[in-house]
Amino acid sequence: MVKVFQAADATDLVTELRRSFDDGVTRGYEWRVTQLKKLLLICDNHEPEIVSALHDDLGKPELESSVYEVALLRNSINLAVKQLKDWMAPDKAKTSLTTFPASAEIVYEPLGVVLVISAWNYPFLLSIDPVIGAISAGNAVVLKPSELAPASSSLLAKLLEQYLDSSAVRVVEGAVTETTLLLEQKWDKIFYTGSSRIGRIIMMAAAKHLTPVVLELGGKSPVVIDSDTNLKITAKRIIAGKWGCNNGQACISPDYILTTKEFSPKVIDALKQELEAFYGKNPMESKDMSRIVNSNHFDRLSKMLEEKEVSDKIVYGGQKNRYKLKIAPTILVDVPLDSQIMSEEIFGPLLPIITLNNLEECFDVIRSRPKPLAAYLFTQNQKLKERFALTVSAGGIVVNDIAVHLAVPTLPFGGVGESGMGSYHGKFSFDAFSHKKAVLYKSFIGDAAIRYPPYSTGKLRLLKALVNSNILEIFRVISGLS
Amino acid sequence: MEEVVDQSLREMRDTFASGRTRSVKWRKTQLEAIIEMVKDNEDKMCDVLFQDLGKHSTEAFRDELGFVMRSATTALNCLDKWVVPKKSNLPLLFYPSTGKVISEPYGTVLVLSSWNFPISLSLDPLIGAISAGNTVLLKASELSPNASAFLAKTIPSYLDNKAIKVIEGGPDVATILLKHQWDKIFFTGSPRIGKIIMAAAAEHLTPVTLELGGKCPTIVDHHSVSKDMKSVVKRISGGKWGSCSGQACISVDYVLVEKSFASSLIEMLKPMIRSFFGENPKESGCLSRIVNKKHFQRLARLLNDPGVQASIVYGGSMDEEKLYIEPTILLDPPLDSEIMNEEIFGPILPIITLRDIQESIGFIKSKPKPLAIYAFTKDENLKTRILSETSSGSVTFNDVMIQYMCDALPFGGVGESGIGRYHGKYSFECFSHEKAIMEGSLAMDLEARYPPWNSFKLTFLRLAFREAYFKLVLFMLGLKK
């Protein structure tokens, strides 16, 4: 029988974890590495169960589960284990003449007890990847997986309890009630993956305790296609990045396409051709795509398709099966810019193409919308690439590919504006859960009288020399010789 | 006022959209203009700081004017380096893709400054915002009205006033400003207001940097620094009373010392204070005054607590009309008194005695994380314990306040003392979005990336992701299953 999680439970949980943290349980290198290696064991020993849970929750194909969740996690853990000593070492900082003689460094310290709230679309990746960061940085952590992926949530709770040190790492399952109770507690950091709407609620709750947050949100990630691109590869990458990644239900999914009126028919043909090559003539039967997560989201997507002035713009797909929670890969052309499908993040297998008279116009279209998590461009035009990278504001930009930057540990992954704040992956995860404490070691040699009252014009003169870097004067001053 | 804000925002957004503030040349011009503004108006600035806070011109220069000029100069000298995209090494798996990180300005940012260092706490964040290529609205504090008026009048004649704007006013103006969407908010002030700012920012998912405060403890381990005790006392005194009369976020708030040394310490502090301010500090001209009646009354209330009164061992005199409080030392005021539970922000120094200096760690941990911890000690063991067992924005050994001047060190708090950091390169980063850029090649393609899935592709990708390249090659050659 499942015990109902109440306010007292939330308080007790945080108190207990704080005690563990204060006792120093999580600080040592050994503990952190041991926990990370245990996470690796979970990946090694339980992949079939993970694949099965993901199939239950999302109809996710084995390859996606195995590669885009488990394999990515394995890499993330291995990198952390390999680099942890380096990451934990203080950074030397340069001191200047004004603080001479001194040495300075930046010490990485854990924040304390942190909360990770995960999402339903990549339930293992988006739960464990932040937890890897939290543990590497030496924190105690509570994970709240999404209730919309119940099999995954339950498996995560079971596995983390079985393998990790439960005096410092815990899972709380539940929905709005449990999350609200957790958010009332004082955390030293909150890491949230999800929607912008909930992101606001999280940040508001965090404000009550001055808790810093990382919010990995979403948005409408545009794909701009230039007519000089290799269309076959472009189409394949868009399809793999959209329908091949949880059937469009991903934060960095290509949301809509921008291309010229002239080039659009070629784009549509290429997409149709490759879609058939990937998923056959009957994509509704294909086992290589996740299904829609639940009937709420199915209805949301259906409504988008059924909207007046949208339903007649479908040029491919459009089939739906509510019972099976399936919608075929669907392409639409030139839906109204104020339609639902062009106003909110689609998060599904629908791909609108908006045609422009001139590719130049793409900048205005993108700029007129909230900043997305990712923006994509397919082109061979060097100038266009540079302009795009420089002027399109998004969490991250990928040229000539889709979504791959998520797998690169040396690039910070995060949003800007509506798509979020903060970043992680690789060392950025370690940094996200650390406080970089500035440490200055000063000696007693040389106490410049100019620092102290009583003040005089003479002292003022010397101070000015210091500021103006009058080297000779400075040396005389700070060595107390002046 | 609403209209003024709306119009200002619109203008700043248009300016940002035009791309003007992105150019390095524009940013450098603005930074040069700031330096020029300070140089041209040194006397005026010292004047307003004297009017608002009774600051001596040397203190004003040291803590504010000189600091701002150095900050702007550093930014000018380093900007070319800071704006260069940082190349990222990509794992072999992604060859021949390339990756880099570009620092991109957030857009239109809001800087809310404080009254105690009204010039530097306004201009320093401004320097950061400008270096990073943003348009910025500065609201100076109404509690330093002369400085605020000076900035509002002078900045427009030096800086690009379609990109950099100043607004004056108090909480009512701040409330109007916070209703709008900003791309970043930078706030210096109290934790209480910090929470309000962050909650307002949450409505628009605006990232914030909050430079707050706390009770900065100063540990005096007399065993290990006995030879240098005169220096210790000088630095503590200078740090407490020599900078805005204790009204600084990184002020020495209270001292922790072993009981056996407390009276010696006090007997050394007394003549030090006299050497700084003479027999009559009120007339010395070197001691800033309390900013206003409200803060004076707040401090008077802290001091008038009977338990606290009884603990006064030096000073204690006050003059409400002149907003003057004498440098005051307390010995072991009650730990549950208000003065030991809120940031003092004034010229009163409690000395808390411990049986053993090691207890200072536990004492500090029992309070919210401060902006700075100061420790006078040469004991390596104690240093290690302080670093690893306490948490604070920063730690400075054997000095006070000076970490503020070291712009290679990030300046910011943790927990109750704040979120985010700035100074030097960190100011530039504070106002930038670090945007990842990845470029793939259209020339090479890997079939295994694409559906329809099969076990070959699965194995291939598994090996590829694991970077088990040798095994991958074997697999491809059919020599491995």
3-state class (DSSP) for residue B120:
helix
Domain count, chain A: 3
B406 and A440: CB-CB below 8 Å?
yes
pLDDT at A133 over 70: yes
CATH class of the domain defined by B217-412:
alpha beta
- Clarify whether residues A266 and A382 are in a common domain: yes
What are the structural domain ranges in chain B? 1-212+422-434, 217-412, 446-477
Min Cα distance B435 → chain A (Å) is 5
If 0-12 CB within 10 Å is exposed, 13-18 middle and 19+ buried, where does residue A238 land? buried
- From chain A, the residues in CB contact with B22 under 8 A are 390
Q: Report the pLDDT value the prediction gives residue B246, as an integer from 0 to 100.
A: 96
In a domain, residue A441? The reply is no
Task: Please check whether residues A398 and A460 belong to one and the same domain.
Answer: no
CA B179 to chain A, closest CA, distance in angstroms equals 14
A interface test, pick of B438, B456, B469 with most A CB neighbours within 10 Å: B438
CA of A38 vs chain B CAs: smallest distance (Å): 18
pLDDT at A482 exceeding the cut of 50? no
Q: Which two tokens stand for residue B308?
A: 């606290």
B195 → closest Cβ in A208, A408, A418 = A208
CB atoms within 10 A of CB A344: 16
Interface probe with A: pick from B414, B429, B446, most Cβ of A within 10 Å: B414
DSSP 8-class letter at A413: B
Are A390 and A453 found together in one domain? no
Mean pLDDT of chain A: 94
| Cβ separation A63–B457 shorter than 8 A | yes
pLDDT at A474: 58
In a domain, A443, yes or no: no
Closest CA to B256 of B379, B393, B402, B363: B363
A279 and A357: one domain?
yes
Let me know if residue A189 belongs to a domain: yes
Spatial distance between the Cα atoms of B289 and B318, rounded to a whole number of angstroms: 11
B217: β partners? B254
How does residue A100 score in pLDDT terms, banded at 50, 70 and 90? Answer: confident
- Those of residues 285-344 in A touching chain B at CB distance below 8 A are 286, 288-289
Per-residue pLDDT tens listing for chain B (481 residues) = 899 999 999 999 999 999 999 999 999 999 999 999 999 999 999 999 999 999 999 999 989 999 999 999 999 999 999 999 999 999 888 888 999 999 999 999 999 999 999 999 999 999 999 999 999 999 999 999 999 999 999 999 999 999 999 999 999 999 999 999 999 999 999 999 999 999 999 999 999 999 999 999 999 999 999 999 999 999 999 999 999 999 999 999 999 999 999 999 999 999 999 999 999 999 999 999 999 999 999 999 999 999 999 999 999 999 999 999 999 999 999 999 999 999 999 999 999 999 999 999 999 999 999 999 999 999 999 999 999 999 999 999 999 998 898 889 999 999 999 999 999 999 999 999 999 999 999 888 888 889 899 988 888 888 888 877 778 888 878 776 6
Instruction: Determine the pLDDT at residue B480.
Output: 66
Q: Of B293, B281, B366, nearest to B328 (Cα)?
A: B281
Catalytic residues of B, by residue number, are: 211, 249
The pairing of strands A254-260 and A330-333 is unpaired
Interface test mutation site (partner B, options A73, A92, A99, max chain B beta carbons within 10 A): A99
Closest chain B residue to A469, measured at CA: B70
Both tokens of A364, joined, read: 């205005």
- How many angstroms away from the CA of A402 is the closest CA of chain B? 9
Cβ(B113)–Cβ(B193) below 8 Å = no
Residues 388-417 of A with CB under 8 A from B: 389-391, 393-401, 404-405, 407-413, 416-417
Question: Which of these, B42, B252, B429, B205, lies nearest to A200 by C-alpha position?
Answer: B205
H or E element, residue A225: strand A221-225
B98-105 and B108-112: which strand pairing?
Answer: unpaired
pLDDT of residue A91: 96
Q: Do B406 and A104 touch (CB under 8 A)?
A: yes
Q: Indicate if A160 and A238 belong to the same structural domain.
A: no
**How close is the nearest chain A Cα to the Cα of B291, in Å?**
20
Give A153 to chain B, closest Cα distance, Å: 24
Residues 6+ apart with CB under 8 A from B184: B106, B107, B109, B110, B129, B134, B206, B207, B208, B209, B430, B431
CATH number at A275 reads 3.40.309.10
Measured CA to CA, the distance from residue B458 to residue B446 in angstroms comes to 13
If one compares A447 and A160, the residue with the highest pLDDT of the two is A160
> Cβ of A411 and B438 within 8 Å?
yes
Domain that holds residue A342: 222-418
Tell me: pLDDT of A470 over 70. no
Contact A96 B440 (CB under 8 A): no
Decide if A453 and B284 are in contact by the 8 Å CB cutoff.
yes
Q: In what order do the strands lie in the sheet with A374-378?
A: A314-316, A330-333, A350-356, A254-260, A221-225, A374-378, A396-399, B432-439, B98-105, B86-88
Name every chain B residue with its beta carbon within 8 A of the beta carbon of A96. 405-408
Residue A89 lies in a domain: yes
List the 142-171 stretch of A: residues with Cβ below 8 A of B: none
CA-based nearest residue in chain A for residue B460: A67
CA gap A7, A80 in Å, rounded = 34
Give the pLDDT confidence score for residue A2 in this predicted structure: 57
Question: In CATH, what number does B1-212+422-434 get?
Answer: 3.40.605.10
pTM value is 0.96
Straight-line distance from the first to the last Cα atom of chain A, in angstroms, rounded to the nearest whole number: 79
Residues in chain A closer than 8 A to B235 (CB atoms): 447
Mark which residues 352-391 of A lie under 8 Å from B by CB: 367, 378, 380, 385, 389-391
Q: How far apart are CA A90 and CA A439, in angstroms?
A: 10
Q: Average pLDDT in the A31-53 region?
A: 98
Considering only CB atoms, A98 lies closest to which of B101, B405, B438, namely: B405
CB-CB contact of B372 with B392 (8 Å): yes
Tally of CB atoms within 10 A around A162: 12
A192, A235: one domain: no
CB atoms A405 and B414 under 8 Å: no
Of A106, A390, A442, which has the smallest distance from its Cβ to B398's Cβ? A442
Which residues of B fall within a CB distance of 8 Å from A93? 406, 408-409
Q: Which chain A residues touch B419 with a CB distance below 8 Å?
A: 210, 212
Q: How many Cβ pairs closer than 8 A exist between chain A and B?
A: 309
Quick one: pLDDT at residue A479? 59
Given CB atoms, is A421 within the 8 Å cutoff of chain B? yes
Residue A166 lies in a domain: yes
Where residue A140 sits, what CATH number does that domain have? 3.40.605.10
Question: How far apart are alpha carbons B86 and B101 in whole angstroms?
Answer: 5
Tell me, yes or no, whether A337 and A389 share the same domain: yes
Dig out the tokens for A54 from the structure.
């993901």
Do the Cβ atoms of B450 and A236 come within 8 Å? Answer: yes
Query: In this model, does residue A167 exceed pLDDT 50?
Result: yes
Write out chain B residues lying below 8 Å of A465, CB-based.
Answer: none
Any domain includes A366: yes
At residue A28, the pLDDT reads: 97
Q: B205 and A217 in contact by Cβ < 8 A?
A: yes
Closest partner residue to A439 (CB to CB) among B59, B194, B395 is B395
Domain match, A408 and A431 both: no
Looking at the fold, whether A242 and A212 belong to one and the same domain comes out as no
What's the ipTM?
0.96
Take residue B23 and report the two structure tokens written for it: 């150019």
- Residues A313, A190 share a domain: no
Which residues in chain A have their CB less than 8 angstroms from residue B365's CB? 22
Which one of A64, A178, A216, A274 is the catalytic residue? A216
E strands, B294-440, are 312-314, 318-319, 324-325, 328-331, 348-354, 372-376, 394-397, 418-419, 432-439
Do B122 and B138 meet the contact criterion of CB atoms below 8 Å apart?
A: yes
A397 contact residues in B (CB cutoff 8 A): 435-438
Pairwise CA distance, residues B356 & A288, whole Å:
68
Rg (CA), chain A: 26
- Selecting from A99, A288, A420 the residue whose C-beta is nearest the C-beta of B406 gives A99
Which of A72, A215, A237 is facing B205, going by the closest CB pair? A215
Confirm whether A413 is domain-assigned. Answer: yes
Q: How many angstroms away from the CA of B306 is the closest CA of chain A?
A: 32
Q: Do A200 and B205 touch (CB under 8 A)?
A: yes
Alpha-carbon radius of gyration of chain B: 27
Name which of B235, B434, B445 is nearest A233 (Cβ-Cβ). B445
Residue B241 distance to chain A (closest CA, Å): 9
A226-278 pLDDT per residue, tens: 999 999 999 999 999 999 999 999 999 999 999 999 999 999 999 999 999 99
Asked whether residue A137 falls in the same domain as residue A44, the answer is yes
Reference B127, options B227, B32, B25, B222; nearest CA is: B32
C-beta separation of A293 from A318 below 8 A: no
**Phi and psi at residue A93, in whole multiples of 5°?**
-120, 145
Q: Which residue of A has its CA nearest to B66?
A: A467
Same domain, A237 and A256: yes
Tell me if A1 is assigned to some domain: no
The Cα of B102 is separated from the nearest Cα of chain A by a number of Å equal to 8
Closest-CA residue to A415 (of A208, A149, A213, A119): A213
- List the single residue in B202, B398, B439 with the smallest CB-CB distance to A444: B398
Probe site for chain A from B435, B441, B446 (most A CB atoms < 10 A):
B435
